[in-house]
Amino acid sequence: MTIFRINMNEDQKNIITQTANYVQSISEKDSSGHDWWHIYRVYNLALKISELEGGEKFVIELSALLHDLDDWKLNGGEETGKAESWLEKVGVKNEERTRILRVIGEVSFKGAGVETRTTTIEAKIVQDADRLDAIGAIGIARTFAYGGNKNRIIYDPGIKPVRHNSFDAYKNNTAPTINHFYEKLLLLKNRLNTKTARKIAQNRHEFMEKFLLQFFSEWDNIF
């Protein structure tokens, strides 16, 4: 596998630094689990995965940094186009801009029954890194942060998890946070693209299963 970073020129390195600063300034105050440190972790994890899986670093780095900027969850469901404007502003070439925007468009989860196909190795890697940050201990923490931020209750035994077969159904759901584990998080380990990510996912997945077992034993007073 070829790593292209060696060929990254000073201009490209500058663009990455500027982009990191820009995204940090926008996401610093987020309290929905999509704060700067989520972006930072996804960026680093994507780079780690790409050491073993390949892909073009410039595209991976910029896509990872910008992947949540226009996310529907953070922009009240509006199309915002912030990533595109930013890439234009810092002078990323047309052809590269298109590739990066395509990666960003392919990253997000849209419901258990909705296919999210990735068409490039760069998209596969960034999607895997984003999904790995949604599971394990950090995934659990982020999920409850998100639930609180969106005024969701923790759990209601009367509201069962559902399989969302359309992006709209997924987007519009307001179920308790525990349901999100069954509607998305526990499904992720079988929806990763790369072997490297599947390996990393294993123990994060088991940790979530343990957490849920403990949660329900406490709920039901099983000692």
- Interface ranges with ligand ADP (CB under 6 A): 33-34, 68, 71, 73, 108-109, 130, 134, 139, 142-143, 146-147, 177, 180
Considering the complex, state which of residue 34 and residue 99 has its C-beta at the smaller distance from ligand ADP: 34
Q: Which of 56, 61, 68, 122 binds Ni ion (CB under 5 A)?
A: 68
> Under rule CB under 5 A, how many of the chain's residues touch Ni ion?
2
The CB-of-92 to Ni ion minimum distance in angstroms stands at: 20
Q: Which does 128 bind (CB under 5 to 8 A by kind): Ni ion, ligand ADP, none?
A: none
Q: Which of 53, 61, 84, 130 binds Ni ion (CB under 5 A)?
A: 130
Cα gap 134→130, rounded to integer Å: 7
Helices within 28-120 (DSSP H only): 36-53, 57-66, 82-89, 94-107
Q: Should residue 70 be labelled a site residue for Ni ion when binding is judged by CB under 5 A?
A: no
Cβ(60)–Cβ(3) under 8 Å? no
Which of 72, 63, 66 is closest to 32 using CA atoms? 72
User: By CB under 5 A, which span of 61-69, 73-81, 154-162, 180-188 interacts with Ni ion?
Assistant: 61-69
Which of 75, 51, 212 is closest to 129 using CA atoms? 51
Considering the complex, state which of residue 4 and residue 182 has its C-beta at the smaller distance from ligand ADP: 182
Cα gap 134→213, rounded to integer Å: 19
Q: Which does 109 bind (CB under 5 to 8 A by kind): Ni ion, ligand ADP, none?
A: ligand ADP
Q: Which does 33 bind (CB under 5 to 8 A by kind): ligand ADP, Ni ion, none?
A: ligand ADP
Which of 62, 95, 55 is closest to 194 using CA atoms? 55
Asked whether the CA dihedral 97, 18, 61, 110 is positive or negative, the reply is: negative
Q: Which does 181 bind (CB under 5 to 8 A by kind): Ni ion, ligand ADP, none?
A: none
Cα gap 198→189, rounded to integer Å: 6
